[in-house]
Amino acid sequence: MKRLLRYAIIGIGYGSFSYLLILMLHIQDVPPTSVNIFSILLMSAGIGILSILFDIENLNFLTALGIHFFATLALVITMMLFNGWIDSVINSVGFWLIFLTIYIAVWALYRIQLYLNVEKINRVLAQHRKNKQ
């Protein structure tokens, strides 16, 4: 349960940042409402929880990525349907460009964050080994 909450919170962070960028760049024409924001936070938590797929050892990376990608797309489309944003958007090239750009950007940021965390842990371990000698 604690693990799910951690993944959900991380997802909310990435989703909030992405949504603020969308608003800042005027990609969304409709002013945000509290219901829109809540649905985006809920969707983002779901996407974060989906990231647990990458921790399943029996699941190869490409399979996990494919499941994550299509499940994320399903969550985005569901959120857009709920908010009434789906009418003309889903068939537009713009939607797919924005979706793919955000998906790739968030994935890249996640990988960079993961790399930096591993580097930090390795430095601490190296310092610990050095102090033991």
pLDDT in tens, 55-104: 899 999 899 999 999 999 999 999 998 988 877 666 788 888 889 999 99
Cα–Cα distance measured from residue 6 to residue 23, given in angstroms and rounded to the nearest whole number? 26
Q: How many folded domains does the chain comprise? A: 1
Tokens (6 digits) for 114: 């993961």
Q: What is the pLDDT of residues 117-129, one digit of tens each?
A: 999 999 999 888 8
With pLDDT > 90 as the criterion, what percentage of the chain qualifies?
59
Nearest alpha carbon to residue 110 among 27, 50, 57 = 50
pLDDT at residue 90, rounded to an integer: 66
pLDDT at residue 53, rounded to an integer: 93
> Is the pLDDT at 47 greater than 70, yes or no?
yes
pTM of the model: 0.81
Domain encompassing residue 19? 2-132
- Residues 6 or more apart in contact with residue 37 via CB below 8 angstroms: 19
